[in-house]
Structure 1
Amino acid sequence: MAISATTSSRRQAIIAAAQRLAVKRGYSGFTVEDLAAAVGCSRRTLFNHVSSKEEAVLGVLPRITDEQVATLRSGGPTGDLVEDLVITAIDSLGGDDATAADWQQLHDVIRRNPELLVRVQDHVDELGLSLVTHLAARDGVGEEQAKIVFTVVGGLIGRAVQDLIEASPSDLGTGGLTARIHHNLDLAREVLAPRTGSTSCATA
């Protein structure tokens, strides 16, 4: 079922308010009732849009759907191992739904509340293990290869997110997460491409 613009707007307002409170008071320094009052709704209405206080502050953590898993394991969506993981990862992060300002606000929340970083990191680690397992299930792909691909793609995404966090106000409209990740991927392929006339450093 499609999410209405009004529902999406209310949810975003809840997340924005929760993050402001988390930065100002700390995660444990406000209650769900405080958040509902800040948004101007009842507790019951609040939980129609988010499942918990943690989700209100962090949003939905990245996850992959059963459909994405099936596509990834069967060799899709493009047939290119790296590109397929990039596409899946971008989708799991919500694509360009979050702006640079949103990433900066989330960064401020986690810096102010380091206990939340543990929760995020545990989730990312669990998701990473799952993605490696799904990649390794593809024909011709081994576990070590899957781990390397995940490490590379994870680094490209991390760099893109960091760029958004560090973006100045004048740079906020110069490209979202998707464009930045693909830019980093292009740079990585350029750096890793074999050089004409190069020789291996390996010895016999």
Structure 2
Amino acid sequence: MSESANTLEKRKVSTTHRITICAQKLTDQRGFDGFTMDELAEAAQVSRRTLFNYFPGKLDAVLGPGPELPDQVIETFRAGGPNGDFIADIKVLIAAMVDIKGFDRDEALVARRIFKTNPRLLLAVHERFHAVTELFTDLILDREGQDFGRHRARILINVLACLFDVALEDVLSDTTGRRELDAAYFEAFDTLRGVLSC
């Protein structure tokens, strides 16, 4: 990727993040129906046109962009990599999908609060999770074969999502503010792997 393309991509990611954070803060302060897209554009310091170039509507802006997996990561996983160990490779896949390095505690607290208190947002999060579950299920079956079982793959994905919730709760309840989400998630992941191997 050229330097100018890289700069453009960083700007796009930054603008997307800013819009979502502003949408979540407005939702927290006023409720989901308590602000307009014009007010969101003003809060995010973008034009209305730019706002709609990034998100088709308010719900999408509050949820933020869906998780994405780079094509190379998907192909490597399908081919049995990068480590050749299924569980270790799932861990790599999750790390590539979830930007837990850019975690901000205050932003996470706002997001968690609005998703817990707004049924419409909670339903939208659930629908998005269902779509991600289907993607991961298909990837697992592509790699491991249909004999692995769709039900088994879905159970695994739901357990991994629960680990994320456990890690997030650990980090948000850490009063020192020093616990990192990626470390907490992978610690939970490794703990579960150890428990299941007993």
CA contact 1:14–1:56 (8 Å) conserved in 2? yes
| CA 1:10–1:151: 2 relative to 1, 3 Å | closer
Matches within 5 A, 1:1-204: 1-4=5-8, 5-139=10-144, 142-143=148-149, 144-168=151-175, 170-171=176-177, 173-176=178-181, 178-194=182-198
**TM-score after normalising by structure 1:** 0.79
Unaligned 5+ residue runs, structure 1?
195-204
Partner deviation per Cα, 1:37-96 (whole Å, 9 max, x = no partner):
223332123334444322321211224344333222221222221222222123222231
Partner deviation per Cα, 1:101-126 (whole Å, 9 max, x = no partner):
22212112213322111111111112
Amino acid at match of 1:189: R
CA contact 1:15–1:58 (8 Å) conserved in 2? yes
Deviation, structure 1 residue 14 = 2.2
Distance 1:153 1:33 in 2: 38
| CA 1:82–1:27: 2 relative to 1, 3 Å | same
Amino acid at match of 1:18: A
Distance 2:65 2:173 in 1: 23
Instruction: Considering Cα pairs closer than 8 Å and 6+ residues apart, tell me whether 1 or 2 has the greater RCO.
Output: 1
Distance 1:175 1:59 in 2: 21
Amino acid at match of 2:128: H
**TM-score after normalising by structure 2:** 0.81
Deviation, structure 1 residue 29 = 1.6
Question: Percent identity over the alignment?
Answer: 28
Amino acid at match of 1:60: P
Alignment root-mean-square deviation, CA: 2.5
Distance 1:65 1:105 in 2: 28
| CA 1:98–1:52: 2 relative to 1, 3 Å | farther
Larger radius of gyration: 1
- Aligned pair count reads 191
